Structure 1
Amino acid sequence: MKQTIKSGATPAAFDPNALYTKALRYIQNMDNHDSDEWEYALWSSLALEFLARAALGNVSPPLLAEPDKSGSNLHFALGFASLEEKFSPKSIAISEVFRRLSAILPEFVKEHEAFGIVHTGKRNAELHSGELAFDGVKGSSWQPRFYQTCEILLASMGFSLEDFVGSDEADVAKQLIAAAADNGAKAVNGDVAAHSKVWQAKPESEQKTLAAQAMIWASRQIGHRVDCPACGSTALVQGEPVSAPSQKLEDDVIIESQEYLPTQFECIACGLRIIGLSKLAVVALSDRYKKTQKYNLSEIYAPLDDYSMFEEDNNEP
């Protein structure tokens, strides 16, 4: 049998390589923001959509084509030129992309499908309505599932998280994924409940005194101030740096910022202590935090001269 009609190259609208490149662009824009900013979450949702489309297109580009009566979208995805007037190719909705992926990729289960639909749905609300869909949303509520979903999609195309987000962010992502998957960490809820019960049994006057002491203590320690899940007093989380320091200049002042991933928590008011990211994730204390320091230019570029090697000059006229 002789094939007389041959298709051309896959058009960019359905080309998995083009879609993956676009996902990389958006994930790089995400990295330009701090992990607690709404823009960070918005760019992540855009990156996830195109990563999902790339993964489905990598199975077969026609899977991305929206069904129509004439089959023009399918023909176009196969690399054939459309003969229709004013033709504009259309791809399936992102929710359908996730549904098809869950039916094709064994590792892409219903939880990943549901997360993808919800996360990109917030993007739609952010861009097409007056709703501030990502404002006030903690990273710990979506980042572990986001990275896990990305990891599965990337693996289906022969890529890794390191390829997609870089080695530093990939290390953080893997810690977040592991912490979220640690079911044994849920036992920390018992510790929180026990400390809360003891706290509630204390006289109100003692609670106020302890809370005031905790606020003073937290302000003098190195770490990130949070509310204690057991007693509500000011407490501290401390962690390890997960990014290189970034610097910017504002009015002759250098502002240096660095992100940290929490590893431990302490409240001196009720005595609650929590060690480990997985346990912190259970009580919603695993969000990355930013340490910011300010330096005057003169402190760095014009240090005081050291005259210790010279005798005092008393030769006044």
Structure 2
Amino acid sequence: MSFNSAWTYEKLWLKGKNYIDKALLQDRESEMFPFFAAIALEFIARATLAKVHPALLAEPKDGENILYAFGFQKRPLYTPISIPTKLVIERCEVIVPNFTESEKIFCKEITVKRNEELHSGNLGFENFPTKIWLSKYYKTLKILLEFQDKTLLDFLQNNEAEAAEEMISERDADLEKIVRDKISLHKKAFNSLTVDLQNEKITNSIKDKLFGIRVYRKDETCPACGNIGILTGKLISVSEGRANEYEIIQNINVLPTHFFCFCCDFELENHQELDSIELGGQYKIEESFKPWEYFEEDDVE
């Protein structure tokens, strides 16, 4: 092109990369995580069209936009107008293999939330936990990136890319049925107990879950008996420490890989099982340190 076009593939790719980097710096339970992630997804979708040709981004009502897409400008300071996000998504469905109706619906849903956040008094991403969207998000990203001859590792930080690959493993319908049947069996078994025995198990489970080493643990409601079990997982990333008057706090972002209920013995043993019933969303754990603990360096031998 004879000028510095705003619609080059490289610019759109780098802008998407910039916004996903911003997203990954956020608390996983913060509303800003899905907000920045939604913006990143839009730029990757636009980069996908630009990879074919920037003309796919041009708003067609003004012919000057088409000229711009092909590298011509009638006015040196002309600002081109591109198509809305909704149309970008619809064009991706036509152009990108494996970008199905499911991905299109997801993209439109998260775009609506982004627009609600930006253009109304409502909080678009309020009550939007990662368990209901993040695996779908990464799956959609992967499809778009593969069309661009790129991978999740090109786009995300190393640990995040590995976690994303695990999260987007297909939600197998048979696996979901197996997990649902397992829930039903444990629920029936617990409900068949006398009230006294149920209360005894609940009391014992509260004590039992306090003991033993369980990495990156989080309390989670058991889908079988409704009592509190333990969700554990593996480390994805650790935030920069933030200081208050007494201590320094770090957020640890975790991919859940195991659930166990000490009350009814219901257990899920991997992320795929957890994700099949929407318990697979990343979560955060806060760790606090005294200043001297945080800044203490390992002894050098």
1:52 to 45, 55, 70: 45
1:10/1:79 contact within 8 Å kept? no
Q: Does residue 247 of the first structure (1) align with residue 237 of the second (2)?
A: no
How far off its partner does 1:249 sit? 2.8
Q: Does residue 261 of the first structure (1) align with residue 255 of the second (2)?
A: yes
Matched with 1:279 is: 273
Higher relative contact order (CA 8 A, sep 6+): 2
CA distance in 2, matches of 1:37, 1:97: 27
Percent identity for Structure 1 against Structure 2: 29
How far off its partner does 1:115 sit? 1.4
- 1:183 alignment partner AA: A
| TM-score with structure 1 setting the length | 0.84
- Give every structure 1 segment of 4 or more consecutive aligned residues whose post-TM-superposition deviation is greater than 4 Å: 298-302
How far off its partner does 1:142 sit? 1.3
- 2:289 alignment partner AA: Y
How far off its partner does 1:220 sit? 4.4
Matched with 1:34 is: 27
Distance 1:176 1:74, change over 3 A: same
| TM-score with structure 2 setting the length | 0.89
Matched with 1:23 is: 16
Q: Deviations over 1:227-255 (max 9, x none)?
A: 10011111101222222464333224232
2:56 to 56, 63, 81: 63
User: Counterparts of 1:285-296 in structure 2 under 5 Å?
Assistant: 285-296=279-290
User: In angstroms, what is the RMSD of aligned CA positions?
Assistant: 2.4
SS in 2 for 1:25: helix
Q: Does residue 237 of the first structure (1) align with residue 231 of the second (2)?
A: yes
Q: Which has the larger radius of gyration?
A: 1
Distance 1:57 1:192, change over 3 A: same
1:10/1:77 contact within 8 Å kept? no
CA distance in 1, matches of 2:93, 2:268: 37
Q: Deviations over 1:132-182 (max 9, x none)?
A: 22122121221112112111212222221111112211000000011x433
SS in 2 for 1:181: coil
CA distance in 2, matches of 1:100, 1:92: 10
Task: Structure 1: state its 5+ residue gaps.
Answer: 1-6, 303-317
User: Counterparts of 1:1-317 in structure 2 under 5 Å?
Assistant: 8-9=2-3, 11-12=5-6, 14-68=7-61, 70-82=62-74, 88-178=79-169, 180-186=170-176, 187-220=178-211, 222=214, 223-244=217-238, 246-299=240-293
Task: Structure 2: state its 5+ residue gaps.
Answer: 297-301
- 1:202 alignment partner AA: L
Distance 1:10 1:245, change over 3 A: closer
- 1:204 alignment partner AA: V
